[in-house]
A and B are shown apart, each in its own frame.
Chain A
Amino acid sequence: MIRQQRFLLALIALIVCGALIVVTPIGKQFGFGKVNLGLDLQGGTQLTLQVKPTEEVKNIDDQVMAAVQSVVANRLDPEGVSEISVQATSNQQILVQLPGVSDPKEAAKLLSQVAKLDFRRPNNAKVAQLNVRQSELRKLLAQQEQTEKEGNKEAIEKLNIDIKQKEQQVADLRSQYYEKTNLTGEDLRNAGYSPSQGQPDLWDVTLQFDPDGGRKFAELTKSIAGTRQPMGIFLDGKVISEATVEEKFKENGITGGAAVITGNFTLEKAQLLANQLKGGSLPVPVTIEEIRTVGASLGQESIRQSIYAGLGGLVLVLIFMVYYYRLPGLIADIALCIYGLLTFAAYVLLGVTLTLPGVAGFILSIGMAVDANILIFERTREELRDGKTLYRSIESGFYRAFSSILDGNVTTLIACAALYWLGSGLVRGFALTLGIGVVVSMFTALTCSRTLMFTAIGFPSLRKPELFDAKRAKVVS
């Protein structure tokens, strides 16, 4: 019995240390993040986009959603650097979160356009010009070495200016390198990716045009086959891929309306490009269903107020427990602090995004955690008043309260599961924090309180009934 207690005590100490490591800055060195704050707490803009089916795309499946998602993410954050999050949710909606953005004007503008995919070919005149300018540039660069050897400062400077000019001309021509063709995303029926033949770990992107698009594509490829000049694939005016066409297609172009882009793609890159192509090829209208903007300091104010409220409530609960339940109350308070720590660590480990309702769920779960302790101590008191020994009373207090703690918590968990499963956004965050709270509180009430309690009554000086029951103390004295 005592050995078991020591073991549990060590286990609790271990878990508490682990939780401390997770939540403190030390945890960052081990790769644990911070608790993510929802937009309502850190300020920012949240948009809900509704994807609408069209004549051609009547059924919006996961593939379509993935395509739209990738286009949205690309438009808002072409470099993929900011902390935006784009999630597909149920009901064919896409949830976009832009932390720190208090003016969603730009984002809304970007999103209200329909993605445009088109294929472009090199503009022969410009290509010719570019070639001339490039060879001129090469000549100038060759001269530079010679001039520098001669050491004539004026000549060097003049040459440098000339080179700069030439470089500018080359860059200008480069940007005009492509000219539009009549082949656009509307001609593309589908895009996908498949493993490269003979090259493990590398992937190709496959294209499938409709008959009309197939003809246009054949024409385009015929014109550039074997020239080593690439065609450009543009999404919203930005080049997303360039591909050359092999010599063998010079006769007829790539016919049959299907093509493969081999470019040593990794799986992710191939997926991305296929999604971009599909996204561009799918003119599914996207409407902005909801915009919520919270100013940054408004969010901070909410945090501060909620934290004060929570801490205030918690302190009152702690005081009440010690006042009413004496020594067990103190032990419950310690268990409660462990509870708070473990719950917070669970948020970090599970990557919970803490929203305002989530904070409320946490504060509320404190109440639930206390409830389990109250059930146990009320029962212990009853047993004491029935004349049982202290040890037996505590033991049966824990034992007999167990069934109601279990049943009560399981029913709450059932409600949480229903909320999490069917709810979205706010509701989900709340259900998750409450659910975590319920599970952790079962552990702290049944294991921590119990072990600490038995450790405490191991000290003879703490084995006095008046430390357990105020009424009894009066009788004794």
Chain B
Amino acid sequence: MKLNVNKQRGLWWSLSGAVILAGVIAMALSWNEFKAPLRPGLDFLGGTRLQLERDCRQPGNCDLPIDVADIRQVLQEKNLGANNIQILGKEKQAVAIRTPPLDEASRNDLKDALTKKLGKLDANKSQIDTVGPTLGRQLFTSGLLALLLSFLGIVVYLTFRFQLDFALFAVVALFHDLLVTVGVFSILGLTQGVEVDSLFIVGLLTIIGFSVNDTVVIYDRVRENLKLTPHLSVAETVDNAVNQTLGRSINTSLTTALPLVGIFAFGGETLRYFALTLMVGFVAGVYSSVFIASTLLTWWRERQGQGRGGYNSTVLNSNSALSDASPEEL
């Protein structure tokens, strides 16, 4: 079976367009609600997050699950208002509370009050984070800078190794993957209350590396085919390249997805959404490499009047020397 990606490129493009549009709408709605395209987590808002768990070695301490109402009452007594309270764990013996930034004294005060209400807490299983709002902003700007810098580096490198249009469409595919991922998390933020933290930024930056990797593998084959079969049209050449690399695309996605599924299913709470971020990004990455980056390149070359066969292969000569030369005689 041969996949003719170029024949139905309208379909692939509208599919991507629809997903991205849904994401953009979600981002607009989020902006209305949170003043940000995604539901921002502690790292970006600033504040204190307490995760506390009862010490179940004390007899009778864990007989009943923790009641949200109890905690809400304590918070109201401390004038901390209606805060984000989450009961965690199968036995409902742990709780995560979000408050405005608390200093050392008021934090301990709150902890004492909660201990009185809930019973003894296990210090070994608690996690307390206080983050100033500036830190998240710094992370965001440094992340954005890293993003721009890696875009630039990738364009320069691919222009050097391939050609400028290859490089630009690789970055378009990249942008596509990031938009899809941000869109999906925006939707998750609105519907499931999923928040993004600093790991989300790390995830986005990782997607860059992998997405380009996928695209490069296909482009590498296009580069080679343009040289080997100059009589074919660009559309055919690209179709061939996509088909020749399809097995690899599928298998690689599978092998990278396996550890991610592992982390998503069994990894700690912290890494769960990180794994999901990467999975969404990688799926988008494979899709965009196979269906978007390839067809965009064809479309562009056809527009430039290079769609017919007999493409001037000398242009690619210097760059494709590696893949063109036959292996050394044995």
Contacts and interface: CB of A to CB of B under 8 A. Distances in A.
A288 B256 CA distance: 40
A294 B127 contact: yes
B244 to A, nearest CB: 7
Contact of B259 (A366, A423, A427, A431): A366
B153 A363 contact: no
Nearest to B199: A357
B259 A367 contact: yes
A42 to B, nearest CB: 12
A404 B221 contact: yes
A378 B220 CA distance: 14
A370 B252 contact: yes
A293 B322 CA distance: 52
Does more than half of chain B's interface fall in helix, strand or loop, or is it mixed?
helix
B220 A404 contact: yes
A289 B46 CA distance: 10
A324 B251 contact: yes
B5 interface: no
B100 interface: no
A416 interface: yes
B130 interface: yes
Contacts of A290: 129-132, 135
Contacts of B270: 40, 302, 356
B29 interface: no
Does more than half of chain A's interface fall in helix, strand or loop, or is it mixed?
helix
B104 interface: yes
Given A302-B270, A371-B255, A427-B198, A392 B327 contact: yes
B251 A427 contact: no
Nearest to A426: B198
Interface residues of A, number: 85
A177 interface: no
A301 B213 contact: no
Interface string B13-33: 000000000000000000000
A302 B125 CA distance: 11
Given A313-B259, A408-B217, A412-B209, A109 B323 contact: no
Given A313-B260, A423-B142, A409 B213 contact: yes
Interface string A406-418: 0111111011111
B287 to A, nearest CB: 17
Q: Which of A294, A314, A324, A392 has the most chain B CB atoms closer than 10 A to its own CB?
A: A294
A416 B208 CA distance: 10
A430 B206 contact: yes
A418 B153 contact: yes
A429 to B, nearest CB: 9
A226 to B, nearest CB: 49
A367 B244 CA distance: 21
A360 B142 contact: no
B235 to A, nearest CB: 21
A411 B129 contact: no
A375 B244 CA distance: 11
Contacts of A391: 330
Q: Which of A112, A314, A360, A400 has the most chain B CB atoms closer than 10 A to its own CB?
A: A360
Given A310-B259, A367-B259, A412 B212 contact: yes
B220 A371 contact: no
Contact of B212 (A302, A392, A411): A411
Contacts of B323: 400, 403
Interface stretch (B68-76, B144-152, B293-301, B310-318): B144-152
Interface string A97-140: 00000111100110010000000000000000000000000000
B202 A371 contact: no
Given A313-B258, A357-B274, A50 B132 contact: yes
Contacts of B255: 317, 320-321, 367, 370-371, 374
Contacts of A411: 154, 157-158, 209, 212-213, 216
Contacts of B82: none
B195 interface: no
B138 interface: yes
A91 B139 CA distance: 11
Given A392-B327, A403-B322, A91 B259 contact: no
A371 B149 contact: no
A61 to B, nearest CB: 19
Contact of B123 (A102, A109, A375): A102
B59 interface: no
A291 B134 CA distance: 13
A294 B268 CA distance: 13
A250 B129 CA distance: 57
B138 A306 contact: no
B132 A102 contact: no
Interface string A45-78: 0001010000000000000000000000000000
A274 to B, nearest CB: 31
Given A414-B150, A427-B205, A364 B198 contact: no
Nearest to B142: A422
Interface string B233-269: 0000000000011011001101111111111011110
A400 to B, nearest CB: 6
B11 interface: no
B18 to A, nearest CB: 28
Given A108-B104, A305-B266, A422 B149 contact: yes
A81 interface: no
B216 A408 contact: yes
Q: Which of A302, A320, A368, A404 has the most chain B CB atoms closer than 10 A to its own CB?
A: A404
Interface string A367-399: 110110011001001100000000110011001
A395 B198 contact: no
A363 B104 contact: no
Contacts of B267: 305-306, 309
A402 B322 contact: yes
Q: Which of B125, B134, B247 has the most chain A CB atoms closer than 10 A to its own CB?
A: B125
A291 B327 contact: no
Given A103-B123, A382-B244, A301 B330 contact: no
Given A367-B256, A374-B252, 7 more contacts: A310-B263, A313-B259, A316-B262, A364-B260, A378-B248, A411-B213, A418-B149
Interface of B: 51, 104, 108, 122-132, 134-135, 138-139, 142-143, 145-147, 149-150, 153-154, 157-158, 161, 198-199, 201-202, 205-206, 208-210, 212-214, 216-217, 220-221, 224, 244-245, 247-248, 251-252, 254-263, 265-268, 270-271, 274-275, 278, 322-323, 326-327, 330
24 contacts: A40-B270, A288-B130, A289-B132, A290-B130, A291-B128, A292-B131, A302-B268, A313-B260, A313-B262, A316-B262, A356-B268, A363-B262, A364-B260, A367-B260, A370-B252, A374-B252, A407-B216, A408-B217, A411-B212, A415-B150, A421-B146, A423-B142, A423-B202, A431-B205
Closest 10 CB pairs between A and B?
Answer: A313-B259, A367-B256, A412-B209, A313-B262, A404-B220, A408-B213, A309-B262, A414-B153, A302-B268, A418-B150
Interface of A: 1, 40, 43, 48, 50, 91, 102-105, 108-109, 112, 288-298, 301-302, 305-306, 308-310, 312-314, 316-317, 320-321, 324, 356-357, 360-361, 363-364, 366-368, 370-371, 374-375, 378, 381-382, 391-392, 395-396, 399-400, 402-404, 407-412, 414-419, 421-424, 426-427, 430-431, 434
